[in-house]
Amino acid sequence: MRVLFAARDTLWTDWAPALTRLAPEMELIRADDQADPASIDAIVFAPGGPVSDLSPYVNARLVQSLWAGVERIVTNPTLTQPLARMVDPGLARGMAEFCTGWCLRAHLGMDAYAQDGVWRHDLSPPLADARRITILGMGELGRSVSAMLGGIGFRLTGVSASARPVPGVEVLGPGDLRQALSGAEILVNLLPDTPQTRNLLDADRLSWLPRGAWLINPGRGTVLDEAALMASIEAGHLAHAVLDVFRTEPLPPDHPFWSEPRITVTPHIAAHTRPETAAPVAIDNIRRALDGRPVLHLVDRRKGY
Protein backbone atom coordinates (compact mmCIF):
# COMPACT_ATOMS: atom_id res chain seq x y z
CA MET A 1 0.00 0.00 0.00
CA ARG A 2 1.15 3.54 -0.76
CA VAL A 3 0.42 6.14 1.92
CA LEU A 4 1.07 9.86 1.59
CA PHE A 5 2.49 11.59 4.66
CA ALA A 6 0.81 15.02 4.34
CA ALA A 7 2.18 16.71 7.44
CA ARG A 8 4.96 19.12 8.37
CA ASP A 9 8.53 17.98 7.79
CA THR A 10 9.24 18.35 11.51
CA LEU A 11 6.82 15.47 12.22
CA TRP A 12 8.44 13.03 9.80
CA THR A 13 11.34 12.09 12.09
CA ASP A 14 9.06 10.74 14.83
CA TRP A 15 6.12 9.51 12.80
CA ALA A 16 7.76 7.74 9.86
CA PRO A 17 9.58 5.09 11.96
CA ALA A 18 6.52 4.53 14.14
CA LEU A 19 4.25 3.99 11.12
CA THR A 20 6.59 1.88 9.00
CA ARG A 21 7.57 -0.33 11.91
CA LEU A 22 3.93 -1.39 12.25
CA ALA A 23 3.35 -1.79 8.52
CA PRO A 24 6.54 -2.95 6.78
CA GLU A 25 4.53 -3.58 3.63
CA MET A 26 3.65 0.11 3.42
CA GLU A 27 5.43 2.59 1.19
CA LEU A 28 5.27 5.87 3.09
CA ILE A 29 5.66 8.78 0.70
CA ARG A 30 6.41 12.42 1.38
CA ALA A 31 4.69 15.16 -0.56
CA ASP A 32 7.92 16.27 -2.22
CA ASP A 33 8.56 12.76 -3.58
CA GLN A 34 6.35 13.74 -6.54
CA ALA A 35 4.52 10.44 -6.63
CA ASP A 36 1.55 9.99 -8.94
CA PRO A 37 -1.46 11.17 -6.88
CA ALA A 38 -3.60 8.42 -8.42
CA SER A 39 -1.27 5.80 -6.91
CA ILE A 40 -1.94 6.91 -3.31
CA ASP A 41 -4.12 4.50 -1.32
CA ALA A 42 -4.47 6.60 1.86
CA ILE A 43 -3.32 9.90 3.34
CA VAL A 44 -1.95 10.61 6.80
CA PHE A 45 -2.75 14.26 7.42
CA ALA A 46 -1.91 17.03 9.87
CA PRO A 47 -2.64 20.76 9.50
CA GLY A 48 0.14 23.02 8.31
CA GLY A 49 1.69 20.47 5.98
CA PRO A 50 2.51 20.80 2.29
CA VAL A 51 -0.80 19.39 1.00
CA SER A 52 -3.97 21.45 0.99
CA ASP A 53 -5.54 20.32 -2.29
CA LEU A 54 -6.77 16.76 -1.83
CA SER A 55 -8.67 16.52 -5.12
CA PRO A 56 -5.84 14.80 -7.11
CA TYR A 57 -5.87 11.81 -4.74
CA VAL A 58 -8.85 10.20 -6.41
CA ASN A 59 -8.05 6.66 -5.28
CA ALA A 60 -7.27 7.42 -1.64
CA ARG A 61 -9.74 5.52 0.48
CA LEU A 62 -9.07 7.37 3.71
CA VAL A 63 -7.64 10.59 5.11
CA GLN A 64 -6.42 9.75 8.60
CA SER A 65 -5.92 12.82 10.76
CA LEU A 66 -3.04 12.79 13.22
CA TRP A 67 -4.92 15.18 15.52
CA ALA A 68 -8.13 14.80 17.47
CA GLY A 69 -9.38 18.18 16.24
CA VAL A 70 -10.37 18.22 12.58
CA GLU A 71 -11.81 21.71 12.18
CA ARG A 72 -8.92 22.77 9.92
CA ILE A 73 -9.58 20.02 7.40
CA VAL A 74 -13.26 19.11 7.62
CA THR A 75 -14.26 22.33 5.83
CA ASN A 76 -11.70 21.84 3.02
CA PRO A 77 -13.78 21.83 -0.19
CA THR A 78 -11.29 19.48 -1.90
CA LEU A 79 -11.83 16.77 0.72
CA THR A 80 -13.96 14.06 -0.86
CA GLN A 81 -12.38 11.06 0.83
CA PRO A 82 -13.61 9.63 4.14
CA LEU A 83 -11.97 11.44 7.06
CA ALA A 84 -11.08 9.82 10.38
CA ARG A 85 -10.06 11.77 13.44
CA MET A 86 -7.35 10.53 15.76
CA VAL A 87 -8.47 8.89 18.97
CA ASP A 88 -5.15 8.23 20.67
CA PRO A 89 -5.15 6.46 24.04
CA GLY A 90 -2.01 8.35 24.99
CA LEU A 91 -3.65 11.68 24.17
CA ALA A 92 -6.73 10.77 26.20
CA ARG A 93 -4.56 9.79 29.15
CA GLY A 94 -2.57 13.03 28.88
CA MET A 95 -5.77 15.07 28.81
CA ALA A 96 -7.11 13.23 31.84
CA GLU A 97 -3.90 13.87 33.79
CA PHE A 98 -3.89 17.57 32.84
CA CYS A 99 -7.51 18.10 33.87
CA THR A 100 -7.14 16.08 37.06
CA GLY A 101 -4.06 18.03 38.11
CA TRP A 102 -5.72 21.41 37.69
CA CYS A 103 -9.00 20.22 39.23
CA LEU A 104 -7.06 19.11 42.30
CA ARG A 105 -5.32 22.47 42.48
CA ALA A 106 -8.71 24.19 42.45
CA HIS A 107 -10.32 21.70 44.82
CA LEU A 108 -7.53 21.76 47.41
CA GLY A 109 -7.14 25.53 47.27
CA MET A 110 -3.41 25.23 46.78
CA ASP A 111 -3.02 28.91 45.96
CA ALA A 112 -4.37 29.95 49.36
CA TYR A 113 -1.27 28.86 51.24
CA ALA A 114 1.09 31.74 50.63
CA GLN A 115 4.53 31.16 52.11
CA ASP A 116 4.40 34.32 54.21
CA GLY A 117 4.51 33.05 57.79
CA VAL A 118 0.72 33.12 58.27
CA TRP A 119 -0.75 29.89 59.74
CA ARG A 120 -4.01 29.46 57.79
CA HIS A 121 -5.32 26.49 59.74
CA ASP A 122 -8.96 27.26 58.87
CA LEU A 123 -8.52 26.72 55.11
CA SER A 124 -8.94 22.96 54.92
CA PRO A 125 -10.78 21.79 51.76
CA PRO A 126 -13.79 19.45 51.68
CA LEU A 127 -13.43 15.88 50.49
CA ALA A 128 -13.75 15.23 46.78
CA ASP A 129 -17.26 13.79 47.04
CA ALA A 130 -18.46 17.21 48.19
CA ARG A 131 -17.00 18.99 45.13
CA ARG A 132 -19.08 19.35 41.98
CA ILE A 133 -17.35 19.27 38.61
CA THR A 134 -19.06 19.69 35.25
CA ILE A 135 -17.46 18.45 32.03
CA LEU A 136 -18.66 19.91 28.73
CA GLY A 137 -18.20 17.24 26.07
CA MET A 138 -18.43 13.54 26.86
CA GLY A 139 -16.65 12.03 23.88
CA GLU A 140 -13.48 9.95 24.16
CA LEU A 141 -11.64 12.72 26.02
CA GLY A 142 -14.54 13.54 28.32
CA ARG A 143 -14.98 9.90 29.29
CA SER A 144 -11.27 9.53 29.98
CA VAL A 145 -11.26 12.65 32.16
CA SER A 146 -14.41 11.59 34.01
CA ALA A 147 -12.97 8.14 34.74
CA MET A 148 -9.90 9.64 36.41
CA LEU A 149 -11.82 12.32 38.31
CA GLY A 150 -14.47 9.80 39.34
CA GLY A 151 -11.79 7.52 40.71
CA ILE A 152 -10.86 10.29 43.14
CA GLY A 153 -14.48 10.68 44.18
CA PHE A 154 -15.63 13.97 42.65
CA ARG A 155 -19.32 14.51 41.95
CA LEU A 156 -19.50 14.67 38.17
CA THR A 157 -21.97 16.12 35.71
CA GLY A 158 -21.41 15.87 31.98
CA VAL A 159 -23.02 17.64 29.04
CA SER A 160 -23.26 15.66 25.83
CA ALA A 161 -25.09 16.19 22.55
CA SER A 162 -26.06 12.52 22.57
CA ALA A 163 -26.70 12.33 26.34
CA ARG A 164 -25.25 8.81 26.17
CA PRO A 165 -24.83 7.33 29.67
CA VAL A 166 -21.34 7.38 31.22
CA PRO A 167 -20.61 5.42 34.40
CA GLY A 168 -20.35 7.62 37.47
CA VAL A 169 -21.53 10.75 35.66
CA GLU A 170 -24.88 12.50 35.59
CA VAL A 171 -25.10 13.16 31.85
CA LEU A 172 -27.31 16.00 30.65
CA GLY A 173 -28.20 17.17 27.17
CA PRO A 174 -27.52 20.61 25.68
CA GLY A 175 -30.98 21.74 26.72
CA ASP A 176 -29.95 21.35 30.36
CA LEU A 177 -26.83 23.51 30.04
CA ARG A 178 -28.01 26.03 32.63
CA GLN A 179 -28.54 23.28 35.20
CA ALA A 180 -25.09 21.85 34.44
CA LEU A 181 -23.32 25.21 34.76
CA SER A 182 -25.17 26.41 37.84
CA GLY A 183 -23.91 23.41 39.79
CA ALA A 184 -20.31 23.58 38.55
CA GLU A 185 -17.79 24.60 41.17
CA ILE A 186 -15.20 23.55 38.60
CA LEU A 187 -16.02 23.62 34.88
CA VAL A 188 -13.93 21.65 32.38
CA ASN A 189 -14.51 22.41 28.70
CA LEU A 190 -13.69 19.65 26.20
CA LEU A 191 -16.10 20.63 23.43
CA PRO A 192 -14.93 20.62 19.79
CA ASP A 193 -14.95 23.69 17.57
CA THR A 194 -18.25 23.69 15.67
CA PRO A 195 -20.74 26.39 14.67
CA GLN A 196 -22.89 25.30 17.63
CA THR A 197 -20.12 25.60 20.22
CA ARG A 198 -18.45 28.85 19.17
CA ASN A 199 -18.90 31.50 21.87
CA LEU A 200 -21.01 29.05 23.87
CA LEU A 201 -19.38 30.31 27.06
CA ASP A 202 -20.43 33.93 26.68
CA ALA A 203 -21.17 36.53 29.36
CA ASP A 204 -24.66 35.19 30.00
CA ARG A 205 -23.64 31.55 30.41
CA LEU A 206 -20.53 32.37 32.46
CA SER A 207 -22.87 34.18 34.86
CA TRP A 208 -24.69 30.88 35.43
CA LEU A 209 -21.61 29.46 37.14
CA PRO A 210 -21.53 29.78 40.93
CA ARG A 211 -19.54 32.68 42.31
CA GLY A 212 -15.99 31.51 42.99
CA ALA A 213 -16.03 28.78 40.30
CA TRP A 214 -12.96 27.73 38.35
CA LEU A 215 -12.90 27.30 34.57
CA ILE A 216 -10.45 24.87 32.94
CA ASN A 217 -10.38 25.01 29.13
CA PRO A 218 -8.16 22.52 27.30
CA GLY A 219 -10.81 21.98 24.60
CA ARG A 220 -11.08 24.72 22.00
CA GLY A 221 -10.45 28.45 22.36
CA THR A 222 -13.39 29.36 20.15
CA VAL A 223 -15.87 28.03 22.73
CA LEU A 224 -14.96 30.84 25.12
CA ASP A 225 -15.80 34.54 24.74
CA GLU A 226 -12.46 35.96 25.89
CA ALA A 227 -13.78 39.44 26.68
CA ALA A 228 -16.62 37.96 28.72
CA LEU A 229 -14.15 35.83 30.67
CA MET A 230 -11.97 38.85 31.52
CA ALA A 231 -15.04 40.77 32.68
CA SER A 232 -16.16 37.87 34.89
CA ILE A 233 -12.68 37.50 36.41
CA GLU A 234 -12.32 41.24 37.03
CA ALA A 235 -15.76 41.37 38.65
CA GLY A 236 -14.75 38.58 41.01
CA HIS A 237 -17.42 36.17 39.79
CA LEU A 238 -15.02 33.53 38.52
CA ALA A 239 -12.16 32.81 40.88
CA HIS A 240 -9.67 31.48 38.33
CA ALA A 241 -9.36 30.26 34.77
CA VAL A 242 -6.82 27.80 33.39
CA LEU A 243 -6.59 28.23 29.62
CA ASP A 244 -4.65 25.93 27.31
CA VAL A 245 -6.26 26.88 23.98
CA PHE A 246 -6.88 30.26 22.38
CA ARG A 247 -8.37 31.89 19.32
CA THR A 248 -4.88 33.05 18.32
CA GLU A 249 -1.94 30.74 18.95
CA PRO A 250 0.69 31.35 20.10
CA LEU A 251 -1.06 33.76 22.45
CA PRO A 252 0.37 37.25 21.67
CA PRO A 253 2.81 38.55 24.34
CA ASP A 254 0.68 41.63 24.93
CA HIS A 255 -2.56 39.70 25.48
CA PRO A 256 -4.19 40.68 28.81
CA PHE A 257 -4.43 37.03 29.90
CA TRP A 258 -0.68 37.00 30.58
CA SER A 259 -0.84 39.76 33.18
CA GLU A 260 -4.01 38.66 34.99
CA PRO A 261 -2.96 36.69 38.10
CA ARG A 262 -6.30 34.88 38.23
CA ILE A 263 -5.73 33.42 34.76
CA THR A 264 -3.16 30.68 34.16
CA VAL A 265 -1.98 30.33 30.56
CA THR A 266 -0.54 27.01 29.40
CA PRO A 267 0.79 26.78 25.80
CA HIS A 268 -1.55 24.17 24.26
CA ILE A 269 0.15 21.29 26.06
CA ALA A 270 -2.81 19.59 27.75
CA ALA A 271 -2.57 16.59 25.48
CA HIS A 272 -0.22 15.62 22.68
CA THR A 273 -0.68 12.99 20.01
CA ARG A 274 2.15 10.57 20.72
CA PRO A 275 3.43 8.51 17.76
CA GLU A 276 4.08 5.47 19.94
CA THR A 277 0.41 5.24 20.96
CA ALA A 278 -1.25 6.87 17.95
CA ALA A 279 0.57 5.08 15.10
CA PRO A 280 -1.22 1.76 15.81
CA VAL A 281 -4.55 3.58 15.53
CA ALA A 282 -3.59 5.11 12.18
CA ILE A 283 -2.27 1.86 10.71
CA ASP A 284 -5.29 -0.13 11.88
CA ASN A 285 -7.63 2.39 10.28
CA ILE A 286 -5.72 2.45 6.99
CA ARG A 287 -5.82 -1.33 6.80
CA ARG A 288 -9.53 -1.29 7.57
CA ALA A 289 -10.18 1.18 4.76
CA LEU A 290 -8.11 -0.79 2.22
CA ASP A 291 -9.73 -4.08 3.25
CA GLY A 292 -13.25 -2.67 3.01
CA ARG A 293 -13.86 -3.04 6.75
CA PRO A 294 -15.54 -0.35 8.90
CA VAL A 295 -13.20 2.56 9.67
CA LEU A 296 -13.02 3.76 13.26
CA HIS A 297 -13.67 7.36 14.36
CA LEU A 298 -15.09 8.58 11.05
CA VAL A 299 -15.93 12.27 11.06
CA ASP A 300 -19.54 13.35 10.57
CA ARG A 301 -19.04 16.37 8.35
CA ARG A 302 -22.44 17.80 9.19
CA LYS A 303 -21.43 17.97 12.84
CA GLY A 304 -17.81 18.87 12.15
CA TYR A 305 -16.31 16.13 14.33
Residue 297 annotated to the active site: no
Q: State the catalytic residue, choosing from 61, 107, 143, 220.
A: 220
What is the rounded CA–CA span in Å between residue 4 and residue 61?
Answer: 12
Q: State the catalytic residue, choosing from 2, 255, 262, 268.
A: 268
Residue 107 annotated to the active site: no
Contact 38, 59 (CB under 8 A): yes
Distance of CA 106 to the CA centre of its chain: 20
Cβ contacts of 71-80, under 8 Å, gap ≥ 24:
71/192, 71/193, 71/194, 71/220, 71/304, 71/305, 72/47, 73/45, 73/47, 74/299, 74/301, 74/304, 74/305, 75/304, 76/52, 78/52, 78/53, 78/54, 79/54, 80/54, 80/55
Instruction: Give the catalytic positions in this structure.
Output: 220, 268
